[in-house]
Amino acid sequence: MTQTLVERVTGQQFAEDTNVEVHLVMDAETFTGQDTGEPVDLTGYGPISPSVADDIIAGAPNAWIRRLLVDPVDGTLIVREPRRRHFDTTTASHIRARDQRCRQPGCDLKIRHHDHIHAHIDGGESTVANGQGLCTRSHTLKHVPGWTVTAQGRDTIWQTPTGHTYISKPPPLLPKDQPHHLRQ
């Protein structure tokens, strides 16, 4: 019955295939690996020892562990670690609103994928600055040998296998600022 519930709620066939995001709130010393004995807060559960947090991270193949670093003076959140493979809902929505259409120069199709400009496997973070909206064709084309895509500020630079370079700028959002032609 549990497997049926998981399948109907998540769309995954097995509970083990479901991705889980775990938030671990910690101070700077624990974050950098110094053993201070300060507990780590497992969001939704409560305090746990740093060694238990290490065990959770080591034994979670389908879990995304997101470390939240707090200010040592007042305990407020300083940074939320952006080391997740997929863009979270807020970041994906920002990318979709900013780009509106596929970011490959000359393409004006709907966004179907939220893509890392600097690939996640190569250390690219899941942030707005490293994200772009692409259609399925452009996302596939980007990974064909010879193509390179890089970021330069807010612009995305696409280089073809023949060496031609094209720049994609995010479109203006207000109608008065939009050109009356397709993006170059």
List, for residues 72-120, the tens digit of each pLDDT value. 777 776 666 655 667 888 888 889 888 989 999 999 899 999 999 998 8
- Checking if the pLDDT of 36 tops 60, the result is yes
Query: Three-class SS of residue 22?
Result: strand
User: Residues, the chain, total?
Assistant: 184
Tokens, residue 47: 């305090």
**What does each C-alpha distance from 72 to 77, 135, 149, 172 come to in angstroms?**
10, 44, 39, 40
State residue 136's pLDDT score: 92
State residue 142's pLDDT score: 92
d(CA 58, CA 47): 18
Q: Write the pLDDT tens digit of every residue in 112-166.
A: 999 999 988 788 888 889 999 999 999 999 989 999 999 998 899 999 999 999 9
Higher pLDDT, 51 or 103: 103
State residue 44's pLDDT score: 75
Nearest to 158 by CA among 141, 180, 175, 179: 141
Nearest to 131 by CA among 159, 94, 177: 94
Which segments within the chain are labelled E, that is strand?
A: 20-26, 40-42, 46-48, 63-70, 77-80, 113-116, 131-134, 148-152, 155-159, 165-168
State residue 128's pLDDT score: 87
- Checking if the pLDDT of 6 tops 90, the result is no
**What does each C-alpha distance from 66 to 116, 142, 172 come to in angstroms?**
18, 28, 33
d(CA 19, CA 101): 28
d(CA 44, CA 23): 9
State residue 109's pLDDT score: 93
- What mean pLDDT is predicted for residues 3-16? 67
State residue 123's pLDDT score: 81
State residue 30's pLDDT score: 74
Query: Three-class SS of residue 41?
Result: strand
**What does each C-alpha distance from 167 to 58, 113, 123, 135, 143 come to in angstroms?**
41, 19, 23, 17, 18
- Checking if the pLDDT of 15 tops 80, the result is no
State residue 158's pLDDT score: 96
